[in-house]
Amino acid sequence: MLPKLGIIAGGGVIPARIIESCREAGRPYFVIAIEEQTDPTILEVSPHQWLRLGEVGKAIDRFKSEEVEELVMAGPVRRPSLSALRPDAWTAKRLAKAAFKSLGDDGLLSLLVDEFEKEGFRVIGTDSVLNEIIAPEGIYGQIRPDDIALKDIERGIEVASSLGGLDIGQAVVVQQGLVLAVEAIEGTDEMISRSGSLRREGPGGVLVKIKKPGQERRVDLPTIGVNTVEKAVQAGLRGIAVQAHQALIVDRAEVIRLADEKGLFITGITISD
């Protein structure tokens, strides 16, 4: 019997995929759904409790009462301001100690992982539950990047690495060497849409999405899916590059099929330390 899994469900479809995997494997699980972020339709057949994002202490108490042994943090979470967070006593104490206002997303997530482990849980990555979701190395479909696109990928890696080193974002759009947009708090989809209005003449740009240097690998790995491809098409991009073995691809077969249909390349790139 696999250990009982606690699922902290953010947005998107990954929480639903993890729930499906648990049900298919007969694995016991319990879901903490985050108010205004988790898709309620994924909870119809799942044991769960709704909590505010700031009620981490209550989540820990519930997981313990449910005899959860392992935790997975699945799906993107929109980070509110401290006033909107309304932290419970447990959360407020940890955030005050860690200087919340100075923490970027990765710093905050790393803090949560450390605190969960101090409480006795084993924190695992999404790819530990969904093995097929991790991005492999190489070209995924029928379209290959040309020399111009390869140069844009190199430039994108350079910029995204610098951006990630400051714990700001994971993605950048580059067109013919020009940085059209970098990801900040708005997220990848909005960043891609913004880049479309800045597009230059000639071959379209490339989305490069990589893990932040030193990022806690078990949470918030770079992720793309069908919606990413659709946004890229709308913005006039010509391809997507993700970091091999350090990024997630949701519904990979459909992502590749759509990219081939629309004439976009998708590639998994290896980045040396």
Residue with token string 């991790």: 134
Is residue 185 located within the same domain as residue 255?
yes
As given in the structure block, the two tokens for residue 232 are: 């890229």
pTM of the model: 0.88
> At 258, is the pLDDT very low, low, confident or very high (cuts 50, 70, 90)?
very high
Q: Does residue 106 have a pLDDT over 80?
A: no
Is residue 205 located within the same domain as residue 109?
no
Is residue 188 located within the same domain as residue 173?
yes
56: exposed, middle or buried (Cβ count in 10 Å: 0-12, 13-18, 19+):
buried
CB count, 10 Å around CB of 50? Answer: 14
Is residue 108 located within the same domain as residue 173?
no
- 167-193 pLDDT per residue, tens: 888 999 999 999 999 998 888 999 999
Q: Does residue 84 have a pLDDT over 90?
A: no
SS3 content of the chain, % helix, strand, coil (to 5): 40, 20, 40
Question: What gap in Å lies between CA 194 and CA 173, rounded to an integer?
Answer: 10
Q: Which of 74, 96, 130 corresponds to the end of one domain?
A: 130
Q: Which domain holds residue 24?
A: 5-130
β-bridge partners, 175: 178
Domains contained in the chain, number: 2
Assign residue 47 the CATH number of its domain: 3.40.50.20
Is residue 138 located within the same domain as residue 120?
no
Question: What gap in Å lies between CA 125 and CA 133, rounded to an integer?
Answer: 11
Q: Does residue 105 have a pLDDT over 70?
A: no
CB count, 10 Å around CB of 191? Answer: 24
Is residue 146 located within the same domain as residue 122?
no
Q: Are strands 206-209 and 171-175 parallel, antiparallel or unpaired?
A: antiparallel
Is residue 120 located within the same domain as residue 143?
no
Q: Does residue 81 have a pLDDT over 90?
A: no
**Confidence at residue 144, expressed as pLDDT on a 0 to 100 scale:** 97
Is residue 38 located within the same domain as residue 108?
yes
Is residue 143 located within the same domain as residue 252?
yes
Q: What is the DSSP letter of 1?
A: -
Reduced to 3 states (helix: H, G, I; strand: E, B; else coil), residue 93 is: helix
Question: What gap in Å lies between CA 247 and CA 258, rounded to an integer?
Answer: 19
Q: Average pLDDT over the chain, rounded to whole? A: 90
Question: What gap in Å lies between CA 31 and CA 24, rounded to an integer?
Answer: 16
Question: What gap in Å lies between CA 205 and CA 14, rounded to an integer?
Answer: 27
Is residue 139 located within the same domain as residue 260?
yes
Question: What gap in Å lies between CA 245 and CA 137, rounded to an integer?
Answer: 7
Containing 111, the helix (H) or strand (E) segment is helix 105-118
Q: Does residue 2 have a pLDDT over 80?
A: yes
Reduced to 3 states (helix: H, G, I; strand: E, B; else coil), residue 29 is: strand
Is residue 140 located within the same domain as residue 117?
no
Is residue 178 located within the same domain as residue 124?
no
Q: Which of 78, 100, 130 corresponds to the end of one domain?
A: 130
- 197-210 pLDDT per residue, tens: 999 999 999 999 99
Q: What percent of the chain has pLDDT over 70?
A: 93
Specify whether the CB–CB gap between 14 and 21 falls below 8 A.
no
Q: Which of 69, 98, 130 corresponds to the end of one domain?
A: 130
